[in-house]
Structure 1
């Protein structure tokens, strides 16, 4: 409701779906295939598209960047379709933000992999992506942290291990996760 004139308008508080995990686990591979499979039922977005200088705040968790994504996803949701946001995020980075109130709930699914496989995937990336050993070690640390703490986060983060999974298997699992929670939110 407008504080100034009292006008009311409907605001859809849809769920947000966060497909997360460390770099190299498969988010950027699963995302486009998921978009194709979901058709018009959801909007699948790649988080890194907004990782611009103006949003690279030095504060832990990058709250300006996270808040911008939450606002954008909520506005897209006003069209009646939820957003699947593909990017590295965990509940402590979204849940405390004021923009969190724009969603009925946020569901998290993290793609993870065995450290050796993840490191190999990152080392095979082109040089222009700048994956040096220090950055790989940081990513492996995050992968390990997710594996250890996902169930303890609030809300809990579901995990899917892509170490031996094919792309179709990872897409199928992610689609099933989306369908389970999107059907729950319409009850």
Structure 2
């Protein structure tokens, strides 16, 4: 909605964005919008992203918390083009939500490398990512005991992805911060994430 020109009706993804203004290249009209940070809480499957997001919602922070898994239920997810389309929709939804004055925090496992290579990325003041990690024993316990996962292939894939986050600081050209949750309660983790958002412009 924020990207549609009310003067000429241009709904194409071709808008210019600068200094809190959106400009329609078709008719030259401009309008104000809230440019806020986009927050991504990432990490491997089973690390506790969703649970942390729920804890943040319980604390009634002035942020909208959403789970990117929703796109897997309504959009294709088999090719790189599919994943780019999902990220575009995630960011399109977020840019409209933030017109209420609230930033958006997504829990999201993959596609970090696509966040800054989309049309809709231009609408955010910045994109911040925080990866939750933990030691292998804690992750295996969370997956098998916490979520009832017994598929060893799934577990190994999560362990490998967790190790990537522990040993890197970026995926593609998207940088991320890291927080080790091994010995932390979900309340402690959510408090850390809230503090992290405050330190990065919330």
**Is the structural similarity TM-score above 0.5?**
yes
8 Å CA contact 1:20–1:90 kept in 2: the answer is no
For residue 100 of structure 1, what is the aligned residue in structure 2? 121
- TM normalised by structure 1 equals 0.85
> What is the distance in 1 between the residues matched to 2:27 and 2:164?
49
* 2:182 corresponds to 1:160: no
> What is the distance in 1 between the residues matched to 2:193 and 2:76?
28
> What is the distance in 1 between the residues matched to 2:60 and 2:169?
26
For residue 5 of structure 2, what is the aligned residue in structure 1? none
* 2:86 corresponds to 1:68: no
Shift of 1:3: 3.4
Shift of 1:16: 0.4
Q: In proportion to residue count, which structure has more helix?
A: 1
> What is the distance in 1 between the residues matched to 2:194 and 2:110?
19
8 Å CA contact 2:115–2:174 kept in 1: the answer is no
For residue 24 of structure 1, what is the aligned residue in structure 2? 46
The structure-2 alpha-carbon separation of the partners of 1:2 and 1:11, relative to structure 1 and needing over 3 Å to count, comes to same
The structure with more radius of gyration: 2
Q: In proportion to residue count, which structure has more strand?
A: 2
Report the count of equivalent residues.
180
* 2:30 corresponds to 1:3: no
Greater mean deviation of Cα atoms: 61-70 or 25-34: 61-70
The structure-2 alpha-carbon separation of the partners of 1:126 and 1:34, relative to structure 1 and needing over 3 Å to count, comes to closer
The structure-2 alpha-carbon separation of the partners of 1:48 and 1:179, relative to structure 1 and needing over 3 Å to count, comes to same
- TM normalised by structure 2 equals 0.80
Shift of 1:166: 1.1
> What is the distance in 1 between the residues matched to 2:159 and 2:184?
19
CA displacement, residues 73-125 of structure 1 (integer Å, 9 cap, x when unaligned)? 11111111100111113641212222211211011111111112112211225
> What is the distance in 2 between the residues matched to 1:150 and 1:131?
30
Shift of 1:13: 1.7
